[in-house]
Amino acid sequence: MTRANIAEVALVAGVSKSTVSRVLNERTEYMRDETRQRVLDAVATLGYRPSAVARSLVSKRTQAVGLLISDVGNPYYPEVIHGVEDIALAHGYDVFLCNTNYKLERGMAFVQSLADKQVDGVLVMTSRMSDDLLAGLAERGLPVVLIDWELPAAQGVVGTLAIDFETGIREAVDHLVGLGHRRFAHVAGPLNLRTSRTRRDLFLAALAGRGIAPEQVLVLEGDLRIQGGRHAVPALLAGPEPPTAVFAANDLMALGVIWGARELGARLPEDLSVVGLDDIQLAAEVSPPLTTVALPRHEIGSRAMRMLLDLLPLSAKPQAVPIFQEVIGTQLVVRGSTGRPKAHPGEGR
């Protein structure tokens, strides 16, 4: 049974294609009720559904958007994706999921394909991003929303959703200092990523604000995965005066630190307090539950998608579009992985 088209509906209803089209698009203002009904009946009996492809050809819109992410496997993303999908779906948009696997060239290929398919807009949430790629999008006049990424020089219809890590990280530092910690470490993400450097710098700055100099802070580098946290543990626990508190650039590494430290006999949080960042699902479910700087991930997704929807009507206009910019907050969630430091043997008073 092949799909009926608009002509067949018109035939069955005894009207012209235009009339059918009008009914379908609710331009039914100057129409006799009876005509409308005949069309509706024909549509029903034929099980007619308009072809989205044909519609797109004339309307230039596809009711689809692209979502560029680095890796579905990263537990940071699922909730963001849900946020995007919830809004998209509610507005009749479908989402092309594009996993770049942290590879720039794969991202480029996706952008190409998305542009060819004429998606109405693109959400970019990859941690690595080339300005060329973004420029490519802008040149094609595709509306883009960038999450946690600085504005590229490129022109175009673009919005940015910045994440205010500072507040949450400062809260974390205040919390730890308030508990009595004085010796700190940071397990950073790959420092070639801008976002890793930002987190490190904000952490060090917040500590400096509490009178702890950056030189006193042990900074290690990890891969943002559990293993990265585990690998950091020996270096963390070495030395005569090891840190009593560690801030990891994300929750996965924080978990790695916790598990790794425990395997080496450390007790938590007495021997080591650990703070993560993300507030992934797992954070609340492990034991001890993880104290972490929470990103409102669902909201990040939904706000980004909403912003994109706002941008769409503007894609027609040439350049002079004001850049959309929003900032989204973060905040510390205190759970069981942080506590007062045990008085160190060497510093009893």
- Binding residues vs a copy of itself (CB under 8 A): 1-3, 49-54, 56-57, 62, 64, 67, 71-73, 75, 77-79, 81-82, 85, 89, 94-99, 101, 106, 109, 112-118, 139-141, 226-227, 230, 256, 259, 262-263, 281-282, 285-287
Cα–Cα dist 93/86, whole Å: 10
- Binding residues for DNA, rule CB under 7 A, total 28
Of 75, 141, 144, give the one whose Cα is nearest residue 107. 144
63 binds DNA (CB under 7 A): no
**Shortest Cβ 56–DNA spacing (Å):** 9
Cα–Cα dist 110/94, whole Å: 16
Question: Which of the choices DNA, a copy of itself, none does residue 99 contact, using the CB cut-off of 5 to 8 A by kind?
Answer: a copy of itself
18 binds DNA (CB under 7 A): yes
Of 222, 296, 288, 282, give the one whose Cα is nearest residue 251. 282
What's the token pair of residue 288?
């001890």
Cα–Cα dist 87/35, whole Å: 35
15 binds DNA (CB under 7 A): yes
Give the containing element (helix H, strand E) for 210. none
User: Which residue in the set 37, 45, 51, 101 belongs to the binding site for DNA (CB under 7 A)?
Assistant: 51
What phi, psi does 147 have (nearest 5°)? -105, 130
User: Which residue in the set 1, 11, 12, 30 belongs to the binding site for DNA (CB under 7 A)?
Assistant: 30
Of 208, 203, 139, give the one whose Cα is nearest residue 172. 203
Distances (CA, A) of 341 to 18, 178, 275: 76, 11, 14
Q: Which stretch binds DNA (CB under 7 A): 21-29, 285-293, 306-314, 323-331?
A: 21-29
**Shortest Cβ 239–a copy of itself spacing (Å):** 24
16 binds DNA (CB under 7 A): yes
Residues, the chain, total? Answer: 349
Residue 60 or 340 having the CB closest to DNA: 60
1 binds DNA (CB under 7 A): no
**What phi-psi label fits residue 102: left (phi over 0), alpha (psi between -120 and 50 degrees) or beta?**
left
61 binds DNA (CB under 7 A): no
Cα–Cα dist 189/83, whole Å: 25
User: Which residue in the set 1, 12, 22, 202 belongs to the binding site for DNA (CB under 7 A)?
Assistant: 22
H runs (alpha helix) in the chain: 6-13, 17-24, 33-46, 52-59, 77-90, 104-116, 131-139, 165-179, 194-209, 226-237, 251-263, 297-311
Residue 136 or 168 having the CB closest to a copy of itself: 136
**Shortest Cβ 115–DNA spacing (Å):** 12
Tell me the pairing of strands 331-333 and 291-294. antiparallel
User: Which residue in the set 37, 45, 59, 101 belongs to the binding site for DNA (CB under 7 A)?
Assistant: 59
Question: Which of the choices DNA, a copy of itself, none does residue 16 contact, using the CB cut-off of 5 to 8 A by kind?
Answer: DNA
57 binds DNA (CB under 7 A): yes
User: Which residue in the set 1, 26, 58, 238 belongs to the binding site for DNA (CB under 7 A)?
Assistant: 58
Residue 92 or 211 having the CB closest to DNA: 92
Binding-site ranges for DNA (CB under 7 A): 3, 5-7, 14-22, 24-25, 30-32, 34-36, 50-51, 54-55, 57-59
